[in-house]
Amino acid sequence: MNPTKPSIVALITDFGLQDEYVGVMKGVILSVNPQARIVDVCHAIEPYGIVQAGQMLASVTPYFPPETVFVVVVDPGVGGERDILAVRREGVVLLAPDNGLLSVWRDDWRSTDIVRVQQTRYFLSRVSRTFHGRDIFAPVAGHLTLGLPLEELGPPVDPRRIQRVSVPMVRIGGQGDVRGTVIAVDRFGNLITDIRSEVLSELERRQSKGEWRIEVREKSIHGLRSFYGEVDRGKPLALIGSRNTLEIAINGGSAAADFGAEAGTAVLVRTSR
Amino acid sequence: MNPTKPSIVALITDFGLQDEYVGVMKGVILSVNPQARIVDVCHAIEPYGIVQAGQMLASVTPYFPPETVFVVVVDPGVGGERDILAVRREGVVLLAPDNGLLSVWRDDWRSTDIVRVQQTRYFLSRVSRTFHGRDIFAPVAGHLTLGLPLEELGPPVDPRRIQRVSVPMVRIGGQGDVRGTVIAVDRFGNLITDIRSEVLSELERRQSKGEWRIEVREKSIHGLRSFYGEVDRGKPLALIGSRNTLEIAINGGSAAADFGAEAGTAVLVRTSR
Amino acid sequence: MNPTKPSIVALITDFGLQDEYVGVMKGVILSVNPQARIVDVCHAIEPYGIVQAGQMLASVTPYFPPETVFVVVVDPGVGGERDILAVRREGVVLLAPDNGLLSVWRDDWRSTDIVRVQQTRYFLSRVSRTFHGRDIFAPVAGHLTLGLPLEELGPPVDPRRIQRVSVPMVRIGGQGDVRGTVIAVDRFGNLITDIRSEVLSELERRQSKGEWRIEVREKSIHGLRSFYGEVDRGKPLALIGSRNTLEIAINGGSAAADFGAEAGTAVLVRTSR
């Protein structure tokens, strides 16, 4: 084993931190590879929040070292018929249940990317039907950090057969407006939307003279800013946030509280001359 | 030092994560052994929850590598007369205050298992009377990961002298029923009980033709399932959970909310023909 | 690289743990130095709590190994004109925005202690204006753990030019009393004050025969204790806590609830004959 090779496992779950579930997974990973470095990306995914987990994955994978093994356990179907998939893509490895999560991360898959995890020799010797995070995901992740080839885990999977969740892609509408949604509220009360910066760039190209207007609930914000401190304390603003999507914030305050907004709230962007 | 030897410290405390207490303990551990790997098992033990900590310990130790040093700081008696104990058992090492916590984990102890931690050379040079987690537990744990023999910490302890907390063992009652208690509610609202699977197996052997009936508050559940998805979404079920005890859940929902149950709620299992 | 050299990064932020922000920072740190060990000191600093972060820093740095790189991201001015500073002091290295946080930690600085972080070759290639924790702090911290000299990051800073926040030093008043404030409530409901033990020692020297009386809201506590268990369960007490300041507690209970106190509540200490 190359001592400077990163053996990083990055965890995304809906387990929270009040129970022992995440800690036990780490014990199992370290039982297989005592040199693994385990990073908690997020354990506060809403229970069964498949879409939320897939969206978070998309925003974090570019920031981890090559060969990082992501383990995503948001798994309402645990113990039933659903498969567990292992994929290699964009330099990282990923373990996740086959419940549509992968399709939220990326929607184009090749048959060489995905295997079904079924080689029980890499599982714990006793597998429960309620906690595959501990009994399957964790030990398999440990083995993957030790260099186990994906193909050892099981047969390739036809990408047309994996589960898909339909997450509508936000685009410019017929009226030249963009209708999106708040997909997350962060600790600061910032409203993270699903409106990608590319869509706003396209809108700008089309209507370069117009003024931006962002509407949330009954309120509206004019213009797009670059950083929070660009407006006075307590004032609202819209900007492209760290996920590279439209974000609505209050400088030094909470947009969620001020706008009465939450995940699911509609956001409208239009330009007017 | 063997570079592949795991130097793992697993922490269970009632400190929560909003303060700096856990972070400071990690700083001290790493000051003694910069190669230690520290795993947060749980810091959400209810304040002074000795029984909860002991029960959690029982459910996690089998999943950690041999030689893991568990540090359990649930310590209402900090600074007073209570001792700190170090034990070696079932391949792991454990540091905990002598407040009954050990007796919840296991109730049979041998005199060769336990020492009293009193060799101050392994403590911080200045020991407060309010935060032994930082001043005693953390540095001693660091030294233990470096291979310090338990005997160096202090004299052996007669196991009849350690503090005990009486936690009644749930058994089959005279009427052929089993009366247990919810001991934890997890993030999903699942009700974790103290009714071990062995007790239910015994009940099954005795009354193999009967139908299972689990009663919580005024509601009842029929039958025992294997995994959550075995019933329709929104429906209640009972199964053997990841702690190998009876667990009551709602598929895709919260049993705690639906049943109005919490830690302490009574659970009755009976079979009827 | 010396394999036993600690490459420790200690994080203090106001990001919370419900979002992916902290996890992404860790991914970036490990992308630069896969051997870094990352410790979460606290992510529950109140949003924009500059003073709280500086006070916590003062209480934790002595407990970490030499060369630890502290990264403090409480940064309401992100993306604007504020600088990022790197300092070396008391054996540790620190990265923080220039917003007064440093002056809360220590108020005497020399010109050889501080540089302005501006060498973009150590940043991510694309720097947002909303998340410098990920794009600047994390990669720079990674490079510092690899031994990058501070001077490589930018020019020295005249300490008279750094931002300062005025935090009044609590002293003995004209009437021989001490007026302080609750600066934090910990998970147990203990009231952490800004009254340092040195001030109380001085008060004791002056009025050695007097009896201590600590007043919070309408209630008062008599005498100073050494540890929580020194009074009966449910009774209030005052002691010197783990931050070496006056702390007010209820043995086995919550002083915050009992006294109706919170951060900002006034605390008066006097001695009477």
The answer, yes or no, to whether residue C204 has pLDDT greater than 90, is no
Q: Which chains does chain A touch, 3 or more C-beta pairs < 8 A?
A: B, C
User: Which residue from C8, C63, C188 is facing B28, i.e. has the nearest CB?
Assistant: C63
Q: Inspect the interface and report whether the beta carbons of C42 and B19 lie closer than 8 Å.
A: yes
Q: Inspect the interface and report whether the beta carbons of C79 and A242 lie closer than 8 Å.
A: no
Tell me the average pLDDT across C216-236. 95
The pLDDT assigned to A169 comes to: 86
Amino acid at A132: H
User: Which residue from A1, A17, A79 is facing B228, i.e. has the nearest CB?
Assistant: A79
CA-based nearest distance C126→chain B, Å = 31
Give A133's DSSP letter. I
Q: What residues of B are in contact with residue C15 (Cβ under 8 Å)?
A: none
Given the DSSP bridges, would you call strands A8-13 and A69-73 parallel, antiparallel or unpaired? Answer: parallel
B227 touches chain A (CB under 8 A): yes
pLDDT digit string, tens, across residues B52-91 = 999 999 999 999 999 999 999 999 999 999 999 999 999 9
| Test mutation, C11, C63, C192, chain B, max B CBs within 10 A | C63
User: Which residue from B28, B30, B79 is facing C228, i.e. has the nearest CB?
Assistant: B79
The pLDDT assigned to A64 comes to: 98
How many Cα neighbours within 13 Å face the side chain of B209?
1
Give B197's DSSP letter. H
B233 CB contacts (<8 Å, ≥6 apart)?
B251, B252, B253
| Test mutation, C129, C134, C187, chain A, max A CBs within 10 A | C129
Of A77, A74, A108, A76, whose CA–CA distance to A90 is shortest?
A: A108
C67 touches chain B (CB under 8 A): no
The pLDDT assigned to A5 comes to: 61
A34 touches chain B (CB under 8 A): yes
Check if the beta carbon of residue B141 is closer than 8 Å to that of residue B147. no
Alpha carbon distance C193, A155 (integer Å): 61
The answer, yes or no, to whether residue B162 has pLDDT greater than 80, is yes
User: Which residue from A10, A17, A252 is facing C27, i.e. has the nearest CB?
Assistant: A10
Q: What residues of A are in contact with residue C128 (Cβ under 8 Å)?
A: 240, 242
Q: Tell me whether residue C235 is exposed, middle or buried, using C-beta atoms within 10 angstroms of its C-beta: 0 to 12, 13 to 18, 19 or more.
A: middle
| Test mutation, A242, A243, A250, chain C, max C CBs within 10 A | A242
Backbone angles phi, psi at C173, to 5 degrees: -85, 180
Of A182, A179, A159, whose CA–CA distance to A169 is shortest?
A: A179
User: Which residue from B41, B43, B188 is facing A47, i.e. has the nearest CB?
Assistant: B188
Alpha carbon distance C84, C132 (integer Å): 9
A44 touches chain C (CB under 8 A): yes
The pLDDT assigned to C257 comes to: 97
CA-based nearest distance B244→chain A, Å = 9
Alpha carbon distance C17, A256 (integer Å): 18
The answer, yes or no, to whether residue C116 has pLDDT greater than 50, is yes
pLDDT digit string, tens, across residues C9-43 = 999 999 999 999 999 999 999 999 999 999 999 99
Q: What residues of A are in contact with residue C79 (Cβ under 8 Å)?
A: 226-230
Q: Which chains does chain B touch, 3 or more C-beta pairs < 8 A?
A: A, C
Residue ranges, comma separated, of all CATH 2.40.30.90 domains in chain B are: 171-272
Q: Inspect the interface and report whether the beta carbons of C134 and A63 lie closer than 8 Å.
A: yes
Nearest CA in chain C to B132: C242
Residue ranges, comma separated, of all CATH 3.40.50.10790 domains in chain C are: 8-161
Q: Inspect the interface and report whether the beta carbons of A65 and C17 lie closer than 8 Å.
A: no
Tell me the average pLDDT across B117-124. 98
The pLDDT assigned to C6 comes to: 64
B29 touches chain C (CB under 8 A): no
pLDDT digit string, tens, across residues B216-245 = 999 999 999 999 999 999 999 999 999 999
Q: Is B80 helix (H, G, I), strand (E, B) or coil?
A: coil
User: Would you place residue C273 in the very low, low, confident or very high pLDDT band (cuts 50, 70, 90)?
Assistant: low
- Averaged over successive runs of 10 residues, the pLDDT of chain A (273 residues) comes to 69 97 98 96 96 95 97 95 96 96 92 94 96 98 97 96 91 90 96 95 82 92 94 96 96 96 95 71
pLDDT digit string, tens, across residues C148-194 = 999 999 999 999 999 999 888 899 998 889 999 999 999 999 999 99
Mean pLDDT, all residues of chain C: 94
pLDDT digit string, tens, across residues B2-26 = 444 669 999 999 999 999 999 999 9
Q: Which chains does chain C touch, 3 or more C-beta pairs < 8 A?
A: A, B
Predicted ipTM? 0.95
CA torsion through residues C179, C185, C191, C197, sign: negative
pTM, entire model: 0.95
CATH hierarchy code of domain C171-272: 2.40.30.90
Check if the beta carbon of residue C103 is closer than 8 Å to that of residue C164. yes
Q: What residues of C are in contact with residue B24 (Cβ under 8 Å)?
A: 41, 59-60, 63
The pLDDT assigned to B2 comes to: 45
In chain B, DSSP assigns E strands to 8-13, 37-42, 69-73, 84-89, 92-97, 114-116, 178-185, 191-196, 211-216, 219-222, 236-240, 245-250, 266-272
A91 touches chain B (CB under 8 A): no
User: Which residue from C3, C21, C27 is facing A64, i.e. has the nearest CB?
Assistant: C27
C31 touches chain A (CB under 8 A): yes
The pLDDT assigned to B167 comes to: 87
Question: Could you count the other beta carbons within 10 Å of the beta carbon of residue A264?
Answer: 8
DSSP per residue, C168-211 = PPP-B-TTS-EEEEEEEE-TT--EEEEEEHHHHHHHHHHTTTSE
| Test mutation, B69, B224, B242, chain A, max A CBs within 10 A | B242
- Helix A50-60 and helix C21-32: axis angle, to 10°? 30
Q: What residues of A are in contact with residue C35 (Cβ under 8 Å)?
A: 4
The pLDDT assigned to A2 comes to: 45
The answer, yes or no, to whether residue C2 has pLDDT greater than 80, is no
End-to-end CA distance of chain A: 63
Check if the beta carbon of residue A179 is closer than 8 Å to that of residue A121. no
Size of interface A-B (CB pairs under 8 A): 101
The pLDDT assigned to C168 comes to: 83
The pLDDT assigned to A3 comes to: 44
Q: Inspect the interface and report whether the beta carbons of B30 and C41 lie closer than 8 Å.
A: no
The pLDDT assigned to A260 comes to: 97
Q: Inspect the interface and report whether the beta carbons of C186 and B18 lie closer than 8 Å.
A: yes
Q: Inspect the interface and report whether the beta carbons of B27 and C247 lie closer than 8 Å.
A: no
Query: Which 165-224 residues of chain C touch chain B by CB within 8 A?
Result: 184, 186-188
The pLDDT assigned to C5 comes to: 61
A75 touches chain B (CB under 8 A): no
The pLDDT assigned to B5 comes to: 61
CA-based nearest distance B184→chain A, Å = 9
Question: Could you count the other beta carbons within 10 Å of the beta carbon of residue A27?
Answer: 22
Q: Inspect the interface and report whether the beta carbons of B19 and C65 lie closer than 8 Å.
A: no
The fold of A8-161 is: Rossmann fold (3.40.50)
